[in-house]
Amino acid sequence: MAEQILMLALSPTMEEGTIAGWKKQEGDTISQGDIICEVETDKATMDYESIQEGTLLKILAPEGAEAAVGVPIAIIGEKGEDISSLITAAESASAGAAKKSSEEPAAAEEKTEEKAEKVSPAPAPAPAPAPVTAKAAPAAQEPAETRTEEGWIKASPLAREMARSRGIDISLIAGSGPGGRIVKKDIEGASSGASRAFQRSAAGGVSQAAPALPAGEDRLIPVSKMRKAIAGRLAESKYSAPHFYLNVDVRGESLLASRSGINRTVDQKISVNAFIIKLAAEALKRYPRVNASWEGDTIREFGSVDIGLAVALDDGLITPVVRNCGVKGIQEIDRELKELIPRAQAGKLAPEEYTGATFSVSNLGSFGIDSFTAIINPPGSAILAVGAMKKVPVVAADGTLSAGDVMKLSLSCDHRVIDGATGARFLDALKMNFENPMAALL
């Protein structure tokens, strides 16, 4: 009997997904566990594994289409079945989901206005802002069907990644997919020599064939699902968890020497991030209150030290998690990082691989940042921000001046869980681990 294939929640925060591509076509036989399509969620591009068996009779959501969780995206059944009633029901479900989505912003705005009226019964009227006239993008930039009214270029995630890795300006490609969407074959055509004008020069600049936007013109960039999820999650963390910050300077000579010594004895060089995670895990074992979460009536001290490392993506960041770092050696942690980070950058992590960190690390030292503070990543109650290691003048205990390798660490703490003294003791223990790494690792 024919039935609908519904859009499933492929990540904990997913409310809707975009069909990145179909692996099965109408008429194909599907078994349980077969990957039928790829879905772009708010965090990654996930494989959709079928939980049904039969023949794919109808694709309802083509490549590039968005579908809310619970909305039909295809119909499966036996060849020759009458599926007209299922198609009608699917169209009604899609229309209902679209209507609900359009009504939610208005409802939220009404609630905000009601709240504002309660707080301030008679607000002074604000002067009306001067009207702003948006300029239309020049028609010569690209075919109109490739760019939406908001200026967003319609392209599949795979096409975007291929264009980025090959140095191609995707805004100059004419899309051949549904609705003018840029797909894989368009990028392959541009990089094969047929469209050399689209490629970046060897020096890294855009070729002269690429027209520049007129000076002073605004660009409207639609918020991606990932950016929207990051904004909501971090705003909630920042404004619900009372943050406070602790900072310390750490000498790095022993860390560098220990890493060099270990790397001379192993086949694959161990990264600095693996050292940071392992040394943090050892400090967390001594101070379990820092490896904890606020749960309202209780504080949960986690039995496992699961550390997330912030990884930058083109339109946001993701935090792959190394589980149970307290009992793993530094080589094992490094091997997991080397496997997780490339998949994180390619958007291929499963939800369980980027959620549930009990403590997080954000390292911007490679970008030359001296110091910064980071926003706590729930459910954890602390995050460590790591700055660049730099040669600076240091004063020894006897008053002599010399050059030393120094890095700045900043610990962001949730004051509901971690008191100042606890955070300070943890950071002091972490400083000792950094400055005496071999003692911490033995």
> Are the beta carbons of 247 and 299 closer than 8 angstroms?
no
Contacts of 252 (CB under 8 A, 6+ apart): 389, 405, 406, 407, 434
Phi, psi of 44 (to 5 degrees): -165, 170
Residue linked to tokens 């591509």? 21
Return the DSSP state at 357: -
| Type of residue numbered 91 | E
Which residue out of 23, 335, 415, 416 is catalytically annotated?
Answer: 415
d(CA 169, CA 187): 10
Under 8 Å between Cβ of 414 and 382: yes
Q: Do the Cβ atoms of 349 and 44 come closer than 8 Å?
A: yes
Q: Report which DSSP code applies to 400.
A: -
In angstroms, rounded to a whole number, what is the distance separating the alpha carbons of residues 296 and 125?
Answer: 39
In angstroms, the CA 6 to CA 228 distance is 23
| Cα–Cα distance for residue pair 254/262, rounded to 1 Å | 12
Cβ proximity of 28 and 12 under 8 Å: no
> CB-hemisphere CA count at 13 Å for 205?
6
Structure tokens at 167: 């140095």
Peptide bond into 379 cis (omega under 30): yes
Q: Could you tell me if 385 and 374 are in contact, meaning their C-beta atoms sit under 8 angstroms apart?
A: yes
List the structure tokens of 158.
């795979």
Tokens of 163: 């264009």
415 is catalytic: yes
105 three-class SS: helix
Query: 417 near 294, Cβ under 8 Å?
Result: yes
Residues in a beta bridge with 116:
none
Contacts 24+ apart (CB under 8 A), 82-89: 82/2, 83/2, 83/57, 83/58, 86/2, 86/3, 86/4, 86/58, 87/58, 87/60, 89/4
Distance CA 69, CA 225 (A): 14
Q: Which helix (H) or strand (E) holds 405?
A: strand 401-414
What residues act catalytically? 415
